[in-house]
Chains A and B, each alone.
Chain A
Amino acid sequence: DIQMTQSPSALSASIGDRVTITCQASQDISNYLSWYQQKPGKAPKLLIYDASDLETGVPSRFSGSGSGTDFIFTISSLQTEDIATYYCQQYDSVPLTFGGGTKVDIK
Protein backbone atom coordinates (compact mmCIF):
# COMPACT_ATOMS: atom_id res chain seq x y z
CA ASP A 1 0.00 0.00 0.00
CA ILE A 2 1.11 3.58 -0.63
CA GLN A 3 1.45 5.49 2.63
CA MET A 4 0.53 9.18 2.65
CA THR A 5 2.22 11.29 5.31
CA GLN A 6 0.78 14.73 5.95
CA SER A 7 2.38 17.48 7.98
CA PRO A 8 1.80 19.23 10.17
CA SER A 9 -1.06 17.42 11.89
CA ALA A 10 -2.37 20.75 13.14
CA LEU A 11 -1.60 24.42 12.70
CA SER A 12 -2.83 27.78 13.90
CA ALA A 13 -2.68 30.83 11.68
CA SER A 14 -4.08 34.34 11.54
CA ILE A 15 -6.68 35.56 9.06
CA GLY A 16 -4.89 36.60 5.92
CA ASP A 17 -1.88 34.33 6.53
CA ARG A 18 -0.46 32.02 3.92
CA VAL A 19 -0.94 28.41 5.01
CA THR A 20 1.05 25.49 3.64
CA ILE A 21 0.46 21.77 4.16
CA THR A 22 2.68 19.03 2.81
CA CYS A 23 1.88 15.48 1.80
CA GLN A 24 4.52 12.87 1.08
CA ALA A 25 3.85 9.59 -0.68
CA SER A 26 5.83 6.46 0.14
CA GLN A 27 6.42 5.91 -3.58
CA ASP A 28 6.09 7.80 -6.85
CA ILE A 29 2.44 8.59 -7.57
CA SER A 30 3.04 10.95 -10.50
CA ASN A 31 0.40 13.68 -10.10
CA TYR A 32 -2.41 11.38 -8.93
CA LEU A 33 -3.11 13.34 -5.79
CA SER A 34 -6.16 15.17 -4.50
CA TRP A 35 -6.85 17.49 -1.57
CA TYR A 36 -10.07 17.64 0.45
CA GLN A 37 -11.51 20.00 3.02
CA GLN A 38 -13.67 18.60 5.80
CA LYS A 39 -15.69 20.61 8.29
CA PRO A 40 -17.13 19.03 11.46
CA GLY A 41 -20.09 16.78 10.78
CA LYS A 42 -19.71 17.10 7.02
CA ALA A 43 -18.35 14.90 4.26
CA PRO A 44 -14.99 15.74 2.71
CA LYS A 45 -15.17 18.26 -0.12
CA LEU A 46 -12.87 17.95 -3.12
CA LEU A 47 -10.71 21.05 -3.63
CA ILE A 48 -7.79 19.97 -5.82
CA TYR A 49 -7.24 16.98 -8.11
CA ASP A 50 -4.34 15.86 -10.30
CA ALA A 51 -2.11 17.64 -7.77
CA SER A 52 -2.82 21.15 -9.04
CA ASP A 53 -6.19 21.35 -10.79
CA LEU A 54 -8.79 23.38 -8.95
CA GLU A 55 -12.23 21.81 -8.69
CA THR A 56 -15.00 23.92 -10.21
CA GLY A 57 -16.34 26.51 -7.80
CA VAL A 58 -13.40 26.34 -5.39
CA PRO A 59 -11.88 29.75 -4.55
CA SER A 60 -8.59 30.55 -6.22
CA ARG A 61 -6.85 31.13 -2.88
CA PHE A 62 -6.54 27.33 -2.73
CA SER A 63 -3.77 25.77 -4.78
CA GLY A 64 -1.71 22.62 -5.04
CA SER A 65 1.63 21.66 -6.50
CA GLY A 66 4.08 18.81 -6.69
CA SER A 67 4.61 15.50 -8.41
CA GLY A 68 6.28 12.19 -7.68
CA THR A 69 6.38 11.85 -3.91
CA ASP A 70 6.20 15.41 -2.56
CA PHE A 71 3.16 17.66 -2.69
CA ILE A 72 2.14 21.02 -1.28
CA PHE A 73 -1.28 22.47 -0.57
CA THR A 74 -1.52 26.23 -0.06
CA ILE A 75 -4.14 28.67 1.13
CA SER A 76 -2.82 32.03 -0.03
CA SER A 77 -4.82 34.12 2.42
CA LEU A 78 -6.58 32.27 5.22
CA GLN A 79 -10.25 33.12 5.68
CA THR A 80 -12.54 32.31 8.60
CA GLU A 81 -14.50 29.85 6.48
CA ASP A 82 -11.29 27.88 5.78
CA ILE A 83 -11.20 26.53 9.33
CA ALA A 84 -11.38 22.80 8.71
CA THR A 85 -9.33 19.64 8.44
CA TYR A 86 -7.55 19.00 5.15
CA TYR A 87 -6.67 15.60 3.70
CA CYS A 88 -4.61 14.40 0.77
CA GLN A 89 -5.46 11.23 -1.15
CA GLN A 90 -3.45 9.26 -3.69
CA TYR A 91 -5.16 7.51 -6.58
CA ASP A 92 -2.13 6.16 -8.40
CA SER A 93 -2.99 2.62 -7.36
CA VAL A 94 -5.36 0.62 -5.22
CA PRO A 95 -5.86 0.53 -2.36
CA LEU A 96 -6.65 4.23 -2.51
CA THR A 97 -5.14 5.86 0.57
CA PHE A 98 -5.51 9.10 2.48
CA GLY A 99 -3.20 11.20 4.59
CA GLY A 100 -3.85 11.57 8.30
CA GLY A 101 -5.19 15.10 8.02
CA THR A 102 -4.16 18.62 9.01
CA LYS A 103 -6.43 20.58 11.31
CA VAL A 104 -6.32 24.30 10.59
CA ASP A 105 -7.61 26.82 13.10
CA ILE A 106 -7.32 30.49 13.92
CA LYS A 107 -4.51 31.80 16.07
Chain B
Amino acid sequence: QVQLQESGPGLVKPSETLSLTCAVSGYSISSGYYWGWIRQSPRKGLEWIGSIFHSGSTYYNPSFKSRVTISIDRSKNQFSLKLSSVTAADTGVYYCAKPITMLRGVEDAFDIWGQGSMVTVSS
Protein backbone atom coordinates (compact mmCIF):
# COMPACT_ATOMS: atom_id res chain seq x y z
CA GLN B 1 0.00 0.00 0.00
CA VAL B 2 1.53 3.27 -1.13
CA GLN B 3 1.80 6.00 1.49
CA LEU B 4 3.19 9.52 1.31
CA GLN B 5 4.40 11.65 4.21
CA GLU B 6 5.40 15.31 4.03
CA SER B 7 7.93 16.83 6.39
CA GLY B 8 9.57 20.19 6.85
CA PRO B 9 9.51 23.42 8.84
CA GLY B 10 6.10 24.78 9.75
CA LEU B 11 7.33 28.37 9.87
CA VAL B 12 9.36 30.19 7.22
CA LYS B 13 10.42 33.82 7.21
CA PRO B 14 9.47 36.12 4.33
CA SER B 15 12.02 36.17 1.48
CA GLU B 16 13.47 32.82 2.58
CA THR B 17 13.11 29.41 0.94
CA LEU B 18 10.41 26.92 1.87
CA SER B 19 11.69 23.33 1.81
CA LEU B 20 9.55 20.22 2.12
CA THR B 21 10.21 16.53 1.60
CA CYS B 22 7.77 13.77 0.69
CA ALA B 23 8.77 10.28 1.82
CA VAL B 24 7.18 7.49 -0.19
CA SER B 25 6.61 4.04 1.29
CA GLY B 26 5.15 0.92 -0.25
CA TYR B 27 6.46 1.73 -3.73
CA SER B 28 9.80 2.51 -5.34
CA ILE B 29 9.65 5.98 -6.90
CA SER B 30 12.25 4.78 -9.41
CA SER B 31 9.55 2.58 -10.96
CA GLY B 32 7.57 5.45 -12.43
CA TYR B 33 4.84 8.06 -11.97
CA TYR B 34 4.93 11.83 -12.05
CA TRP B 35 4.94 12.63 -8.32
CA GLY B 36 3.21 15.90 -7.54
CA TRP B 37 3.07 18.80 -5.12
CA ILE B 38 -0.20 20.65 -4.50
CA ARG B 39 -0.84 23.63 -2.26
CA GLN B 40 -4.07 24.63 -0.55
CA SER B 41 -4.53 28.19 0.70
CA PRO B 42 -7.58 30.22 1.72
CA ARG B 43 -6.76 32.75 -0.98
CA LYS B 44 -6.23 30.49 -3.99
CA GLY B 45 -7.75 27.14 -3.00
CA LEU B 46 -6.08 24.04 -4.43
CA GLU B 47 -3.14 24.79 -6.74
CA TRP B 48 -0.93 22.32 -8.52
CA ILE B 49 2.68 23.44 -8.00
CA GLY B 50 4.47 20.89 -10.15
CA SER B 51 5.42 17.27 -10.68
CA ILE B 52 8.57 15.21 -11.12
CA PHE B 53 9.21 11.94 -12.95
CA HIS B 54 11.56 9.32 -11.57
CA SER B 55 14.10 10.33 -14.23
CA GLY B 56 14.16 13.84 -12.80
CA SER B 57 12.07 15.40 -15.55
CA THR B 58 9.87 18.16 -14.13
CA TYR B 59 6.77 20.13 -14.98
CA TYR B 60 6.00 23.34 -13.08
CA ASN B 61 2.97 25.55 -12.86
CA PRO B 62 3.96 28.83 -14.57
CA SER B 63 2.49 30.65 -11.55
CA PHE B 64 5.39 29.26 -9.50
CA LYS B 65 7.95 28.50 -12.19
CA SER B 66 10.54 31.13 -11.41
CA ARG B 67 10.60 30.23 -7.70
CA VAL B 68 10.06 26.48 -7.56
CA THR B 69 12.41 23.51 -7.73
CA ILE B 70 11.28 19.90 -7.36
CA SER B 71 13.93 17.23 -7.01
CA ILE B 72 14.04 13.50 -6.42
CA ASP B 73 16.26 11.31 -4.25
CA ARG B 74 15.89 7.75 -5.44
CA SER B 75 18.25 6.40 -2.76
CA LYS B 76 15.94 7.70 -0.02
CA ASN B 77 12.74 7.06 -1.99
CA GLN B 78 11.61 10.65 -1.57
CA PHE B 79 11.09 13.84 -3.52
CA SER B 80 11.37 17.43 -2.41
CA LEU B 81 9.96 20.89 -2.98
CA LYS B 82 11.80 24.18 -2.68
CA LEU B 83 9.95 27.47 -3.06
CA SER B 84 12.10 30.57 -2.90
CA SER B 85 11.41 34.19 -1.98
CA VAL B 86 8.29 33.31 -0.05
CA THR B 87 5.71 35.83 1.09
CA ALA B 88 2.64 35.60 3.28
CA ALA B 89 0.73 34.54 0.16
CA ASP B 90 2.66 31.25 0.23
CA THR B 91 1.11 30.31 3.55
CA GLY B 92 -0.95 27.16 3.25
CA VAL B 93 -1.06 23.39 3.44
CA TYR B 94 1.32 21.63 1.10
CA TYR B 95 0.47 18.14 -0.12
CA CYS B 96 2.47 15.60 -2.03
CA ALA B 97 0.45 13.20 -4.15
CA LYS B 98 0.67 10.22 -6.47
CA PRO B 99 -1.12 10.19 -9.84
CA ILE B 100 -3.54 7.41 -10.75
CA THR B 101 -1.55 5.85 -13.60
CA MET B 102 1.79 5.87 -15.35
CA LEU B 103 0.04 5.98 -18.71
CA ARG B 104 -0.89 9.64 -18.92
CA GLY B 105 2.34 11.34 -18.02
CA VAL B 106 1.97 14.41 -15.86
CA GLU B 107 -1.67 14.97 -16.85
CA ASP B 108 -3.55 12.89 -14.32
CA ALA B 109 -5.71 12.92 -11.22
CA PHE B 110 -4.21 12.03 -7.85
CA ASP B 111 -5.32 8.94 -5.99
CA ILE B 112 -2.99 8.99 -3.00
CA TRP B 113 -2.16 12.10 -0.97
CA GLY B 114 0.03 12.78 2.01
CA GLN B 115 -1.59 14.13 5.14
CA GLY B 116 -0.39 17.66 4.32
CA SER B 117 2.17 19.97 5.85
CA MET B 118 1.02 23.35 7.13
CA VAL B 119 3.51 26.11 6.33
CA THR B 120 3.17 29.64 7.68
CA VAL B 121 5.23 32.46 6.23
CA SER B 122 5.81 35.05 8.92
CA SER B 123 8.64 36.96 10.56
Would A43 and B116 be within 8 Å (CB), given that A55-B111, A94-B107 are in contact?
A: yes
> How would residues 93 to 107 of chain A score, 1 for a CB under 8 Å from any chain B CB and 0 otherwise?
111111011000000
> How would residues 98 to 115 of chain B score, 1 for a CB under 8 Å from any chain A CB and 0 otherwise?
001000101111110111
Give the bracket for the number of chain B residues in contact with chain A: 20 to 34
> Does residue A49 face the partner (Cβ distance < 8 Å to B)?
yes
Q: Identify the closest chain B residue to A56 (Cβ).
A: B111
Q: How far is the CA of A93 from the CA of B104 in the complex (A)?
A: 10
Which listed residue, A1, A42, A45, A91, touches B104 by the CB 8 Å rule?
A91
Which listed residue, A45, A92, A96, touches B48 by the CB 8 Å rule?
A96
Would A96 and B100 be within 8 Å (CB), given that A43-B95, A43-B114, A87-B46 are in contact?
A: no
By a beta-carbon cutoff of 8 Å, the part of chain B in contact with chain A is 36, 45-48, 59, 61-63, 95, 97, 100, 104, 106-111, 113-116
16 examples of A-B residue contacts, CB within 8 angstroms: A1-B62, A34-B110, A42-B115, A43-B116, A44-B95, A44-B113, A46-B109, A91-B107, A91-B108, A92-B107, A93-B107, A94-B106, A95-B61, A95-B63, A98-B48, A101-B46
